[in-house]
């Protein structure tokens, strides 16, 4: 078996792209999107008819409703390819507004229902701010399943578990980027590879904590920079992988053994951890990397959401 096939023995493989024409050759179970990926996809000529049709069906409605219709139309097309779920993101500009996040998520879920996709096939992506996590808790109680994204700290993971969210997406590559930049010339790539990669260590800690304490929230490693990071997390519940990295895995027949294991995690001695709001805010703020990368991630996704708004408005 190639490495992609080996990985699928232990882990659900998820396609990290808005370009659904690339997906079929890798046979992922699920797919994830974000504003940056959708923006990239809608600018491709192949998707122009789909974009125009999605906009035409919402002519005369508020711009944000039209944009959500575009996001859901792409998601619905993805669901024709993958047998599982698609993740669609709430506008990152709402990351600190619980009420607005809930309303936007409810509308996205309703749009999916119009497309014939039920709650079992859709995950609403929300930034893992305190407000976003509490919005997700409310949505989960309504039966709308959530994927908490831009997750960098253990505190975020703990709060998501307490909120009962369906899935979290800890970002491996962006954690790696921060530590590499922070270390500067002192960075030793070989010493920080594989299980020693700071992003891999973060996801491993979260996975072990969840499995040890019987937490049902799924862990989906995300934002990979190389196949070594993916291989080091084989056994994680899910991994969302770009087409380029899936192609690399598919081309290699090297052994890819399981690295994370729920039984091994349960055998560890790990204390229970919970945070109220002040404790969460302090713990997250105390992690300089997580604080920096969450705010940066929100800014970047918000900027791409604004660009998508502009593109849709020009055709609307």
If you average pLDDT over residues 223-228, what whole number do you get? 98
- What is the structure's pLDDT at 10? 96
Domain assignment of residue 197, given as a range: 3-315
Taking only the tens place, the pLDDT of each residue in 227-272 is 999 999 999 999 999 999 999 999 999 999 999 999 999 999 999 9
Distances (CA, A) of 205 to 152, 177, 201, 236, 265: 12, 19, 6, 11, 9
pLDDT beyond 90 at 42: no
pLDDT of residue 87: 97
Residue of 94, 102, 74 lying closest to 150 (CA atoms)? 94
Q: Using a cut of 0.75, tell me whether the model's pTM lies above it.
A: yes
Q: Where in the sequence numbering do the catalytic residues fall?
A: 125
Residue 86 in this model has a pLDDT that exceeds 90: yes
**Tokens (6 digits) for 71:** 């996001």
Report the distance separating Cα 20 and Cα 62, nearest Å: 27
When pLDDT is averaged across residues 191-212 and rounded to a whole number, the result is 98
Q: For every residue of 25-88, which 3-state class applies, written as one string?
A: HHCCCEEECCHHHHHHHHCCHHHHHHHHHHHHCCCCCCHHHHHHHHHHHHHHHHHCCCCCCEEE
pLDDT tens for 266-309 read: 999 999 999 999 999 999 999 999 999 999 999 999 999 999 99
Tell me: the pLDDT tens digits for 158-187? 999 999 999 999 999 999 999 999 999 999
Rg of the chain over all Cα atoms, to the nearest angstrom: 19
Mean pLDDT of the chain: 96
Rounded mean pLDDT of 72-97? 96
- Other Cβ atoms less than 10 A from the Cβ of 107: the count is 16
Domain of 90, CATH number, reads 3.20.20.70
Statement: residue 34 has pLDDT above 90:
no
Count of domains forming the chain:
1
């Amino acid at each position: 078996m190639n490495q992609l096939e080996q990985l699928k023995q232990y882990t659900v493989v998820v396609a990290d792209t808005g370009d659904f024409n690339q997906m079929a050759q890798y046979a992922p179970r699920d797919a994830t999107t974000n504003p940056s990926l959708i923006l990239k996809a809608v600018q491709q000529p192949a998707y122009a008819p789909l974009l125009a049709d999605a906009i035409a069906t919402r002519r005369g409605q508020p711009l944000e409703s039209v944009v959500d219709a575009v996001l859901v139309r792409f998601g619905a097309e993805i669901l024709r390819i993958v047998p599982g779920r698609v993740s669609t993101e709430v506008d990152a500009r709402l990351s600190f507004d619980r009420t607005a996040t809930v309303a936007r998520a409810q509308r996205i879920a309703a749009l999916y229902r119009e497309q014939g996709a039920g709650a079992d096939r859709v995950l609403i992506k929300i930034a893992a701010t305190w407000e976003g996590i509490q919005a997700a808790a409310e949505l989960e109680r309504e039966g709308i399943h959530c994927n908490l994204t831009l997750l960098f700290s253990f505190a975020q993971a703990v709060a998501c578990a307490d909120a009962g969210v369906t899935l979290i997406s800890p970002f491996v590559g962006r954690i790696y980027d921060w530590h590499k930049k922070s270390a500067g010339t002192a960075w030793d790539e070989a010493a920080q590879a594989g299980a020693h990669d700071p992003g891999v260590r973060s996801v491993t800690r979260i996975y072990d904590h969840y499995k040890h304490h019987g937490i049902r929230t799924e862990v989906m490693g995300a934002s990979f920079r190389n196949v070594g990071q993916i291989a080091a997390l084989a056994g994680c519940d899910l991994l969302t992988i770009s087409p380029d990295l899936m192609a690399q895995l598919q081309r290699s027949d090297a052994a890819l053994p399981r690295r994370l294991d729920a039984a091994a995690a349960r055998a560890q001695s790990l204390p229970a951890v919970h945070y109220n709001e002040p404790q969460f805010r302090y713990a997250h703020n105390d992690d300089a990397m997580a604080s920096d990368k969450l705010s940066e991630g929100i800014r970047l996704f918000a900027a791409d959401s604004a660009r998508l708004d502009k593109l849709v408005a020009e055709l609307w």
